[in-house]
Amino acid sequence: MPSLINKKIILGISGGIAAYKSAELARLLMQEGATVQVVMSAAAQQFITPVTMQALTGLPVFTSQWDARIDNNMAHIELSRTADAILVAPATADLLAKLSLGLADDLLTTLCLARNCPLLLVPAMNLQMWEHQATQRSVQRLVEDGSTMLGPASGIQACGETGAGRMLEPAEIVEHVCAFFQPKLLQGKRVLVTAGPTFEAIDPVRGMTNRSSGKMGFAIAQAALEAGAQVHLIAGPCALPTPLESGGQIYRTNVTSGQEMYAAVMQSLDCDLFFSVAAVADWTIPNPAKEKIKRHSATVASKKSSAPQIHFAANPDILQSVAQFAKANKTGPNKSPRPYCVGFAAETSNLEQHASEKRQRKGIPLMVGNIGPDTFGDDLNQLLIIDENSKQHLPRAPKLTLARLLIKAVAKKLA
């Protein structure tokens, strides 16, 4: 489902070469369901035309504070009063400096100063301009005044130099905007999330793992961050980047084995919510070989087999351990167990039965089931949320969409 349905976004474009990206940005915002009203500075029109933006958005573009199309001739007032946010992309060094000082000498700056809605700024400029003390003072003042900065990114710039100051790509900006509008259902909460697989060493070059990509756990961490929580993500071996949203950052701990994940979790239980999403190996090899096991090694089981005998031991049960801690750590006016535990069950059959039994066996209030292993590594999933009294099916959708729905469901239970 599109994330910006019924949202009206004023897209401000100031005069930088990155203005060419604003056309794609407008298109992607509209794909998410937003109505996009474009306001351009005079300098912006040197890089991209109002005709282009009007053709893409289907709405007339405003370029002058003296525009008479609005009855009272006050576009800077009328446009912002019906907007859910003003998004300026690109936001040049000149624009940032003007806004930080409260200067308003054209429609775009006047609109930003007269607004009664959030202001999101996407900086785009040369590396030296971005790092200049004057620009950094402007950014700091704007953030202190309540504006939200999206970026900048680092990379090759139009001038040929490389470094910070590059405008975020349109798809990244849209992700940030969608995240910005998520309800802050977990404001002030501390959330702990485990994600990804674990790796149990057999010898220095071999090991036992599983197909978990970490995508579902990372999506939950991002959704919790979007909902206003402080998030600690404990991740097994995976190549996913840490989710990062404006105004918040996820603290990440990387681990390898189930034992390491257990230790990291048990040291981080000063939290309100625990999402046990990681696919932790049930077994480990307690005495991995110190050298690579050779095919002809004396550790071979017999002449009939070239396979060594490997002895397994049970890994600690992280979810059950946290559940026991929570029961002994009841807090709040209702003396509720803390943290509130949400487990995950990846099953190959009889999902409802196995997930329900696992919830009862672990002693936790909420279990989330999904059919594996087909969902491992996929961007889509479908979930079954089970508590003591009810079941809720979440149909197949992107994992971030499901994560946001799960956060809403959990927040209701905490209310």
pLDDT of residue 372: 63
Q: Report mean pLDDT in 10-residue bins for the chain, 415 residues.
A: 90 96 97 96 96 96 84 72 95 97 94 94 95 96 95 84 90 92 93 97 93 94 94 95 72 96 97 96 93 72 67 95 92 80 92 93 94 74 92 92 95 89
CB count, 10 Å around CB of 394?
18
Q: Cβ distance 83 to 117 under 8 Å?
A: yes
Active site residue 341: no
pLDDT of residue 374: 66
DSSP code at position 246: T
CATH code reported for the domain at 190-414? 3.40.50.10300
Catalytic-labelled residue, pool 159, 178, 238, 271: 159
* Rg, the chain, Cα only: 26
| pTM, to two decimals | 0.84
**Rounded-to-integer distance, Cα 114 and Cα 108, Å:** 10
DSSP code at position 131: H
**Rounded-to-integer distance, Cα 223 and Cα 191, Å:** 11
Find the helix or strand (DSSP H, E) in which 402 lies.
helix 399-414
- Residue labelled with tokens 């404001």: 187
Same fold, 8-180 and 190-414: yes
pLDDT of residue 386: 96
- Residue labelled with tokens 């999402």: 275
CB count, 10 Å around CB of 187?
11
User: 3-state class of 211 per DSSP?
Assistant: coil
User: 3-state class of 370 per DSSP?
Assistant: strand
Q: Cβ distance 37 to 62 under 8 Å?
A: yes
pLDDT of residue 305: 60
| Residues ≥6 apart with Cβ < 8 Å to 325 | 266, 269
pLDDT of residue 81: 87
| Residues ≥6 apart with Cβ < 8 Å to 169 | 21, 153
What's the angle, vertex CA 294, arms to CA 289 and CA 296, rounded to 5?
130
Q: Cβ distance 152 to 168 under 8 Å?
A: yes
Superfamily of domain 8-180: Flavin prenyltransferase-like (3.40.50.1950)
| Residues ≥6 apart with Cβ < 8 Å to 202 | 208, 285, 288, 289, 293, 310
Burial (CB < 10 A; 0-12, 13-18, 19+), residue 277, is buried
Sheet holding 251-254, edge to edge: 251-254, 230-235, 190-195, 273-276, 340-347, 366-371, 380-386, 391-398
In sequence order, what DSSP letters do the residues of 247-268 get, joined into one string? Answer: TEE-EEEE--SHHHHHHHHHT-
Total count of residues recorded for the chain: 415
Peptide bond into 337 cis (omega under 30): no
Both tokens of 361, joined, read 């066996």
**Rounded-to-integer distance, Cα 222 and Cα 195, Å:** 12
Sign of CA dihedral 375, 377, 380, 382: positive
pLDDT of residue 402: 94
Domain ranges of the chain: 8-180, 190-414
- Written as one letter, the residue type at 137 is R
pLDDT of residue 335: 75
